[in-house]
Amino acid sequence: MKVLLVTNVNIASNPRCHKEVMALTNAGHQVSVLKFNTNNWSVSFEKEIEANYPGVNWIKLPDKSQNLFIWVVASIVQLYSKYFVRAGIRTAKNIACYLDKRSYMLNRKLRQITTQYDLVIAHNPGTFWPVSNYALKKHVKYAIDVEDYHPGEYQDVHTERCMRMLMQQTLNNAVYVSCASPLIAQHTAKDIGTADKVHTINNVFPKTLQPLFKNRETTVDSLRLVWFSQYIGLDRGLDDIIEAMNVLHDFSITLTLIGYANDTVQQMINEQLKNKKHNIVIKSAMPEKELLEEVSLHDVGLALEKSPNLNRRLCLTNKLFTYLLCGNAIIASDTEAQKTFLSQYTGVGKVYNSGDITQLAALLSDFYNNQETLYKYRSASYTLASATMNWDIEQHKFLALVSKAGE
């Protein structure tokens, strides 16, 4: 099959799209990817990904520095689209261009494509309308990877309604819709009025990326914690863990944070840590394989999702599955999705009530004071990822959907 994947960012910033490229090429499909060039932290990672897939046709849209004119035009279209939406003309096109100016650019590029594809797969809301519009005009089947519950990302009711309307107008004609957690799938199915085409594909990783399990010494004098994201910020639950470190004096803790943090953020983080017994290490974002190796050197992986919106309560982030792959015990905040996951897969992690510093500190103490328990949790995480929670198995769900779409 000839498959076109479309994203409104680059592949380094869209791990799910990256894994789909991997699965499709390994299965022998002819793959093209329409994506954006970016001029940020991900440039070197993007070049590495492209080099790993020489058979993929990379179709690139420029960043602002490469073509300012098209970005200005897209901004003007966005302003007009906002006016139309406010005036009640809420077509999929108007909503899409209002919510993301890249929708206009993607639609413009898709009109120029002459290759006839068997399936087009959209990633991220900015691609939903351009892909559905292209596919319906070209009489091509299309699918949408919703991943997150996007209506639940917004605080204002107007934008939430617009996103829900966009999804309703574009998802119903898709041959399948994929989501990153069972709860997101439930909410998405309810919004579009059918559960038959909505499927969960977890944000797991290939077994080939699993580092060797790291045994620890029997006697240790510290606990090693790790947290990562593209961007580091205290609003991601890090304030909880730092406050817990401030009240613990019986043993030392090293907290490693991986991701981009400007000087102001780094200063704020270091100033919040008052207890000099502990240490915070901030490391820059790194390639996937290097990241996994780094994470595997730690005892406990932190999934500290707060609940500022509904999507955060429903999602299972790639952090959770990274910690499993790397053999970390997990400490997770009490979002609905994380509580459900850790109750289903017992013995790999513990849940605390977000904001409860005393409870979080107690969990850290328990892991430090019970090294045998810590080892069992770490071993159970590693085994779960190796046995079931990996892309080698999960990709079969995805490839089955693609095969069915091609019938």
**Burial readout 301-338 (b: 16 or more C-beta within 10 A, e: otherwise):** bbbbbbbeebbbbbbbbbbbbbbbbbbbbbbbbbbebb
What pLDDT score does 219 carry? 56
- The confidence score (pLDDT) of residue 175 equals 98
Residues 8 and 131 in one domain: yes
Per residue, what are the HEC states of 64-78?
A: CCCCHHHHHHHHHHH
Contacts of 159 (CB under 8 A, 6+ apart): 99
Give the chain's mean pLDDT.
Answer: 95
Question: Cα–Cα distance between 89 and 102 in angstroms, integer?
Answer: 20
Assess whether 232 and 314 both reside in one domain. Answer: yes
Contacts of 312 (CB under 8 A, 6+ apart): 152, 305, 306, 335
**Backbone angles phi and psi of 278, in degrees to 5:** -110, 170
Q: Which amino acid is at 176?
A: Y
Q: Are residues 174 and 186 in the same domain?
A: yes
Domain extent at residue 285: 207-387
Smallest Cα–Cα separation from 24: which of 66, 55, 61, 45? Answer: 55
Q: How many domains does the chain have?
A: 2
Q: In whole angstroms, what is the distance from residue 311 CA to residue 168 CA?
A: 17
Both 142 and 226 in one domain: the answer is no
pTM, whole model, 2 decimals?
Answer: 0.92
Q: Kindly state whether residues 115 and 130 are assigned to the same domain.
A: yes
pLDDT value of residue 210: 97
Q: Collapsing DSSP states into helix, strand and coil, what is residue 52?
A: helix
Shared domain for 381 and 399, answered yes or no, is: no
Taking phi over 0 as left and psi of -120 to 50 as alpha, with beta for the rest, 391 belongs to alpha
Q: What is the DSSP string of 92-114?
A: HHHHHHHH-THHHHHHHHHHH--
User: What is the phi/psi pair of residue 49, to 5°?
Assistant: -65, -45
Give the integer Cα–Cα distance in Å for 42 and 259. Answer: 11
Q: Using alpha carbons only, give the angle 254, 45, 75 rounded to the nearest 5 degrees.
A: 110
Cα 199 to Cα 280: distance, rounded to the nearest angstrom: 39
Helix (H) or strand (E) holding 21: helix 15-26
User: Does one domain contain both 232 and 374?
Assistant: yes
Alpha-carbon distance values, 165 to 88, 91, 129, 172, 312 (Å): 12, 9, 11, 11, 20
Whether 6 contacts 121, CB under 8 Å: yes
Residues 267 and 166 in one domain: no
User: Helix or strand or coil: residue 36?
Assistant: strand
**If 0-12 CB within 10 Å is exposed, 13-18 middle and 19+ buried, where does residue 17 land?**
buried
Residues 261 and 323 in one domain: yes
What is the number of other CB atoms lying within 10 angstroms of the CB of residue 224? 18
Report CA 266 to chain centroid distance, whole Å: 23
Q: Are residues 245 and 353 located together in one domain of the fold?
A: yes
Same domain, 370 and 231: yes
Q: What is the CATH number of the domain that holds 24?
A: 3.40.50.2000
Task: Calculate the CA 201 to chain-centre distance.
Answer: 12
Query: Which residues of the chain fall below pLDDT 70?
Result: 217-219
Same domain, 66 and 45: yes
CA angle 124, 405, 102 (to 5 degrees): 20
Bridge partners (DSSP) listed for residue 142: 120
Q: For residue 370, give the 3-state DSSP assignment.
A: coil
Alpha carbon distance 335, 351 (integer Å): 9
Tens digits of residue pLDDT in 5-24: 999 999 999 999 999 999 99
User: CA 107: distance to chain centroid?
Assistant: 24
